[in-house]
């Protein structure tokens, strides 16, 4: 089964809807989740995962990335962090957990789209 959807994990429903609508407009099917538990359930079918650091539920985005990187089904799926957590330590934690790109909010939807295309292009060269 080909993976085509973007999994967008963002707790803020307004931002979630805005990014999802933009990505859909440009031909990227998008599935949304607001917490790590829901994200883990869908992640094996995603082509790209975009997650925040602060998520609803017990698990944050850093732990979500760690879990995805240890799962054989998702260990090579590109992961982009899209977050308002902008400290250098947040960036370092995300990279150490295994993200492929780190975007700070506010982030224009077109920049997110560019990064999704960049990581997808990188993955197809493997």
Task: Tell me, yes or no, whether 104 lies in a domain.
Answer: yes
pTM: 0.94
CATH number at residue 42: 3.40.50.2300
Output the tens digit of pLDDT for each of the chain's 126 residues.
567 799 999 999 999 999 999 999 999 999 999 999 999 999 999 999 999 999 988 999 999 999 999 999 999 999 999 999 999 999 999 999 999 999 999 999 999 999 999 998 877 654
> Could you tell me the residue range of the domain that residue 82 belongs to?
5-121
Question: How many domains in the chain?
Answer: 1
45 φ/ψ angles, rounded to the nearest 5 degrees: -105, 0
Task: Tell me, yes or no, whether 109 lies in a domain.
Answer: yes
């Amino acid at each position: 089964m080909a993976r085509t959807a973007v999994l967008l994990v963002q707790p803020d429903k307004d931002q979630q809807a805005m990014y999802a609508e933009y990505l859909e407009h440009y031909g990227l099917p998008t599935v949304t989740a607001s917490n790590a538990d829901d994200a883990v359930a869908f992640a094996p079918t995603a082509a790209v995962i975009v997650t925040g650091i602060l998520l609803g539920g017990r698990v944050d985005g850093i732990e979500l990335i760690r879990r995805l990187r240890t799962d054989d089904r998702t260990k090579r799926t590109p992961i982009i962090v899209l977050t308002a957590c902008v400290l250098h330590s947040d960036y370092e934690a995300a990279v150490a957990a295994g993200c492929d790109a780190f975007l700070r909010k506010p982030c224009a939807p077109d920049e997110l789209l560019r990064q999704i295309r960049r990581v997808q292009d990188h993955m197809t060269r493997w």
